[in-house]
Amino acid sequence: MAATITALRRQISSAGDLKSVVRVMKASAASAIGQYERSVAALADYAHTVELGLGVCLRSVDSNGPPPRLSAARTECNVVHALVFGSDQGLVGRFNEVVVDYALGQSASPATKLWAVGERVHERLLDAGRELEGAFVVPGSVEQITRLVGQILEKIPMAGGEVEPQNTTLILFYNRPNGAGYTPVSQRLLPLDGHWERDLAHQPWPTAQRPEVLSASAQTLRAFIREHLFVSLFRASAESLASENASRLAAMQRADRNIGELLQALNANYHRLRQAGIDEELFDVISGFDALLPSADASPQH
């Protein structure tokens, strides 16, 4: 009995410690979600500025000659690069499985060159029998996203605008947060959508003073395209990180409930055994007292 009660005490203590860790992870995940969502919201103004500048460059190039746009039609030598965003850490539910299944369903061709952001996604893609061109480490904070984007622009061909645009397609696969948690989405960065380019070129300028590109309009256009790629990659990474922490928060909430139920069961079992031990001790005392009564009655009367 004593050994069983001691074991229950140890289990209750361990479950309590685990519950404290889970609550810390819940608080950390909730805080991280807000951090990444705020970064996406703050990026919106800069993205709008880049689009305005890109529209001016497109209008300038249209008026000066054939535009070196990245919306050229696909050719037989087209190379497709797919970048899949996941997580380095576990305890995120089916976060990685969902985005990998979605990416493989959308890019079923073995010729697609896959790139992984996150060790867990990298492992799942390998388990699916797909070869990878490379892998990147998931940023641990908003400040580290810029470094990740720089690595992507440096390593993936055409991401920096170095090659002929019609030869490369770049697609992103990542989880985007929503009211119910997250959902997998895809975004084609290259080649740029022709309708989107035309809309930018005809987008009205917000002030009465008309802007103009002073020189090297094609080079300026390339610079703005690179900034557009930077904004898109930064947003995709931040939304993926927000989704990862939302998935982790949901997993920790389930763990918190399960540990709470386990603690209730352990405490109930502990009190039941403790009460049984007390009752047994009382029965022993009563039995001993009853055993003494006949001898007391049989004692000589004076």
* Domains of the chain by residue range: 25-252
Peptide linkage before 165 cis (omega within 30 of 0): no
Q: What is the pLDDT of residue 197?
A: 80
Rg (CA), the chain: 32
Q: What is the pLDDT of residue 174?
A: 97
133 pLDDT higher than 90: yes
How far CA 174 is from CA of 5, 41, 64, 178, in Å, comes to 49, 18, 38, 13
Q: What is the mean pLDDT of the chain?
A: 84
CATH number, domain 25-252: 3.40.1380.10
Whether this prediction's pTM lies above 0.85 is answered by: no
Q: Where are the alpha helices (DSSP H) in 65-172?
A: 95-106, 119-127, 145-155
160 pLDDT higher than 50: no
* Spatial distance between the Cα atoms of 98 and 145, rounded to a whole number of angstroms: 22
184, 172 Cβ separation under 8 angstroms: no
284 pLDDT higher than 80: no
Between 171 and 168, the more confident residue is 171
Q: Directed axis angle between helix 194-201 and helix 2-64, to 10°?
A: 60
283 sits in which H/E element: helix 217-297
Percent of the chain with pLDDT over 90: 49
Burial bucket for residue 263 (CB in 10 Å: 0-12, 13-18, 19+) = middle
Between 287 and 75, the more confident residue is 287
* Spatial distance between the Cα atoms of 206 and 222, rounded to a whole number of angstroms: 23
* Other Cβ atoms within 10 Å of 110 Cβ, number: 9
